[in-house]
A and B are shown apart, each in its own frame.
Chain A
Amino acid sequence: MADEAHSEGGLSFHPLDQFEVKRLFGEGAIEWYTITNVTMWMAIAVVCIVLLLVIGTSKRAIVPTRTQSVAETLYGFVYTMVEDVTGKDGIKYFPYIFTLFIFILISNFLGLLPMSFTTTSHIAVTAILAFAVFFTVTIIGFVKNGAAFLGLFWVSSAPLPLRPVLAIIEVISYFVRPVSHSIRLAGNLMAGHAVLKVFAGFAQVGLIIAPVAILGVVAIYALEVLVSAIQAYVFTILTCVYLKDALHPSH
Chain B
Amino acid sequence: MADTAVEHGAEAGGAGMPQLDFSTFPNQIFWLLVTLVVVYFILSRVALPRIASVLAERQGTITNDIAAAEELKTRAQEAEAAYDKALVDARAEAAKIVADAKAEIQAELDVEMQKADAEIAAQTAESEKAIAEIQAGAADAVKTVAKDTAKEIVAALGGKADARSITAAINARMKG
Contacts and interface: CB of A to CB of B under 8 A. Distances in A.
A99 B31 contact: no
B29 interface: yes
Given A2-B8, A32-B26, A62-B61, A121 B43 contact: no
A171 interface: no
B43 A98 contact: yes
B39 A46 contact: yes
Interface in B18-61: 18-21, 23-36, 38-40, 42-44, 46-48, 50-55, 57-58, 61
A30 B42 contact: no
A102 B35 contact: no
A30 B22 CA distance: 11
A132 B35 CA distance: 14
Contact of A3 (B5, B57, B61): B5
A38 B39 CA distance: 16
B54 A60 contact: yes
Nearest to B46: A54
A50 B54 contact: no
B18 A21 contact: yes
A148 B26 CA distance: 36
Given A3-B5, A36-B27, A75-B55, A128 B33 contact: yes
B40 A72 contact: no
Interface of A is mostly: helix
Nearest to B48: A95
A45 B24 contact: no
Contacts, number: 141
A30 B24 CA distance: 6
Interface residues of B, number: 43
Interface of B is mostly: helix
Given A42-B35, A76-B55, A99 B43 contact: yes
A247 interface: no
Interface in A28-50: 29-34, 36, 38-39, 42-43, 45-46, 49-50
Interface in A93-129: 94-96, 98-99, 102-103, 119, 121-125, 128-129
A14 B24 contact: no
B32 A95 contact: no
Contacts of B53: 60
Given A29-B23, A54-B47, A102 B31 contact: no
B1 interface: yes
B16 interface: yes
A-B pairs, top 6 by smallest CB distance, nearest first, are A32-B26, A53-B47, A21-B24, A95-B44, A19-B18, A42-B35
24 contacts: A1-B16, A2-B4, A3-B5, A16-B18, A17-B4, A31-B26, A36-B24, A36-B27, A38-B27, A42-B32, A46-B38, A53-B42, A53-B47, A61-B54, A68-B54, A72-B51, A72-B55, A75-B55, A94-B48, A95-B43, A123-B19, A123-B20, A128-B29, A128-B33
